Structure 1
Amino acid sequence: MTSSTRTLRSTSFRITAIGVAATGLCVVGAGMAAAANPTSSFGQAVGTTVHAVGVDWSSMPDGYTQAQYEAFWAAEYSGEDLVELQEIWSLDATETKSRAGQMLLDGEELPFAPGTHTTPELPADEQAAIAAFFEAGYTGEDVEALNDLWNTEHLETKARAGQLVLDGEELPLDPATSAGS
């Protein structure tokens, strides 16, 4: 009877440990999602919930205020603009948004206008061609192989290959063969 009691305790311990670990992962995941966009309804709900149970958790990182966050995004800077500012100032994303937001609040100009580095949306025919390429079973590795073969960049390669697929022409590689390699 000792071995079955021991097995039962061991199983109970493992189930409890798994439950605690899973709960911890859920809390961390929710926290990361809320931190990514603290002003979203989800971010605000997470912040309100943890505050209600007694956890002192600011939805904004230290040194970064809600006003700075709102000023940066309200000025209609894009994610691509953010990356460019990060490169110019050699800062991480949060520090960049903090600095840029404060500059905007202080009435200062940033190094470039909002939307300067925004990638324009692709025309509908190119979007359809790219979708057809991937729907035909080709992968990112196939894009790399075609880039090398055609001496093109990713976007041009995907659109060109996709158009060939739509036109019923064969590509110089087989998706079934390339997927297995």
Structure 2
Amino acid sequence: MKPTPTPTRRHRRLVAVGALTAGMSVACAGGALAVAPESALSRTVSGALQSVGIEWQGMPEGYTPDQYAAFWDAGYTWGDAQHLSELWDLDMIETKARAGQLLVDGQALPITPGTYPEAGADATSVAFDALWSAGYTYEDVQALSALWSTDDAETKARAGQALVDGQTLPVAPSGTATAGS
């Protein structure tokens, strides 16, 4: 017969499980912040952490919101970022930061937006590329998220796939469509 755990052993087990869960939650939140630093989730997590005294930047070190916006708003795709990463021999964050800063400074990148729209693309990245190429902005995604009651990631995938399928979205793009859209 198995002995019944004492309250102390049970308490230690609960504390260990709680600590593990909290650690995993912070790690996943950090990952979300790095992947989509300007998303509603990222801003919420960053604000919550700052409200309890933890300084947290939603953007990875050396990567600013201006660089992020400049790169994606110019119509560059995930495939373009992959190509630049290989060309410059940098990781993805450094590549997007460098490319974004060049654009902020008014300089041209060595490729035009949308040159590599499907490089290594899966269905989700094709959908995202379609969304950005059609001229949709982060604010447009937020409007669609509010309308559909979905998070930004789901909204981008759903909206992009609708565009790939030739459908019209209930929110018009507020940005400028790029070649290939």
What's the CA shift for 1:119? 2.3
d(CA) in 2 for partners of 1:98, 1:85 = 11
Percent identical: 42
Dislocated runs of 4+, deviation >4 Å: none
2:107 maps to 108
**How many residue pairs get matched?**
118
1:113 maps to a residue whose letter is T
Q: Which residue of 1 aligns with 2:72?
A: 73
Q: Answer yes or no: is 1:7 the counterpart of 2:15.
A: no
Residue aligning to 1:35 = 34
What is the alpha-carbon root mean square deviation over aligned residues?
1.9
Aligned AA (1:114): P
Aligned to 1:117: 116
Measured after TM superposition, the shift of residue 21 of structure 1 is 0.9
Deviation at 1:66, TM superposition (A): 1.1
Is contact 2:66-2:100 (8 Å) kept?
yes
Q: Alpha-carbon deviations, 1:10-29, whole Å to 9, x = none?
A: 12111111111111111211
Deviation of 1:62 (Å):
1.6
Cα deviation for residue 7 of structure 1 reads: 2.8
Say which is worse superposed, 19-28 or 85-94, in terms of deviation: 19-28
The 2-side partners of 1:18 and 1:42 are apart by: 25
Larger-gyration structure (1/2): 1
Q: Which runs of 5+ in 2 are unaligned?
A: 122-181
The alpha-carbon deviation at position 56 of structure 1 amounts to: 0.4
Structure (1/2) with the larger helix percentage: 1
CA distance in 2 between partners of 1:58 and 1:111 (Å): 30
CA distance in 2, matches of 1:57, 1:47: 6
Mapping of 1:51-90 within 5 angstroms? 51-90=50-89
The 2-side partners of 1:52 and 1:109 are apart by: 40
In the superposition, the TM-score normalised over structure 2's length comes to: 0.61
- Alpha-carbon shift at residue 51 of structure 1 (Å): 0.8
CA deviations 1:64-119 (Å, max 9, x no partner) are: 11111110111010001000000000000111011100110111111110000002
Instruction: Name the aligned partner's letter for residue 91 of structure 1.
Output: L
TM-score of the pair, normalised by structure 1: 0.61
Distance in 1 between the 2:118 and 2:90 partners?
Answer: 22
1:91 aligns with 2:127: no
